[in-house]
């Protein structure tokens, strides 16, 4: 039997956001690779072997999984959220490009998933309702001045902005700097949403404004959405406010 590598998005949180395709891909695997806490979210199945690894070992994990699939196994790499958004799919593609020619003939399938910004947006309403962008705040893989340039471009052109990887112990000041940057281009009342561990039992969601946004609200498990000048907050008695960005730009009737 020839080998196969599936790169599987689990969605954020628990199994509620797992797709049918992802469930089937996990069930068909002989071997599962992934960051330990993501693997822990996959139910055990008899005969499957698990290879947990650390969060930062993406290249090594991709290489090991490709080698294993080349030997004829049905291999799955699991990824939180969607594997194509700041996750494992690009690492697998890079190893295929750099690796032995045989890897290019391997059956590789990417199984998409619900990415974190969609889940956080759903929790508060529809803040991604018009044009938006997704930006990783990690300057491990790109220079900080490029991040600043992208923040300026996105806020200046009126995109809603989803911030991935806003904070870690090794990157303590970047989120504060990003908020300062955004405050120069956005109205003080622009809604900002922090979604932490969304879909898990310890989920928290905080809705505030850019002038009050506190970087200490965020950690590694947080996804932040910064609205545009058009994003609206609707107060609701006895319920959390709804936050949404109208599809129609101001002055255009829907």
Closest CB 4 distance from its own copies, rounded Å: 13
Considering the complex, state which of residue 49 and residue 234 has its C-beta at the smaller distance from its own copies.
Answer: 234
Tell me how far apart the alpha carbons of residues 100 and 47 are, in angstroms, rounded to a whole number: 29
Angle at 57 (CA atoms; ends 54, 59), nearest 5 degrees: 155
User: C-alpha 86: how far from its chain's center?
Assistant: 6
Closest CB 111 distance from its own copies, rounded Å: 7
Q: Which of 127, 119, 129, 137 is nearest to 195 (CA)?
A: 119
Tell me how far apart the alpha carbons of residues 139 and 49 are, in angstroms, rounded to a whole number: 34
Q: Which of 123, 254, 106 is nearest to 196 (CA)?
A: 123
Considering the complex, state which of residue 49 and residue 109 has its C-beta at the smaller distance from its own copies.
Answer: 109
Considering the complex, state which of residue 24 and residue 49 has its C-beta at the smaller distance from its own copies.
Answer: 24
Q: Which of 68, 21, 14 is nearest to 38 (CA)?
A: 14
Considering the complex, state which of residue 214 and residue 241 has its C-beta at the smaller distance from its own copies.
Answer: 241
Closest CB 151 distance from its own copies, rounded Å: 9
Closest CB 66 distance from its own copies, rounded Å: 12
């Amino acid at each position: 039997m020839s080998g196969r590598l599936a790169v599987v998005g689990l969605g954020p949180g628990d199994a509620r956001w797992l797709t049918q395709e992802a469930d089937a891909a996990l069930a068909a695997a002989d071997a599962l690779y992934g960051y330990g806490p993501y693997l822990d979210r996959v139910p055990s199945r008899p005969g499957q072997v698990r290879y947990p690894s650390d969060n930062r070992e993406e290249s090594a994990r991709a290489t090991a999984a490709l080698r294993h699939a080349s030997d004829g196994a049905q291999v799955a790499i699991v990824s939180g959220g969607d594997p194509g958004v700041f996750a494992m799919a690009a690492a697998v593609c890079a190893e295929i490009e750099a690796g032995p020619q045989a890897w290019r003939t391997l059956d590789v399938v990417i199984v998409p998933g619900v990415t974190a910004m969609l889940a956080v947006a759903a929790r508060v309403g529809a803040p991604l309702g018009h044009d938006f962008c997704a930006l990783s705040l990690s300057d491990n893989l790109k220079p900080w001045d490029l991040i600043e340039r992208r923040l300026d471009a996105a806020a200046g052109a009126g995109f809603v902005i989803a911030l991935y990887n806003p904070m870690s112990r090794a990157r303590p000041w970047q989120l504060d700097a990003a908020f300062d940057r955004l405050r120069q281009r956005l109205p003080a009342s622009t809604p900002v949403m922090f979604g932490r561990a969304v879909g898990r039992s310890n989920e928290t969601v905080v809705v505030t404004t850019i002038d009050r946004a506190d970087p200490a609200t965020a950690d590694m498990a947080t996804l932040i959405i910064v609205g545009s000048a058009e994003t609206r907050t609707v107060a609701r008695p006895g319920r959390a406010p709804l936050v949404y960005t109208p599809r129609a730009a101001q002055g255009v009737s829907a």
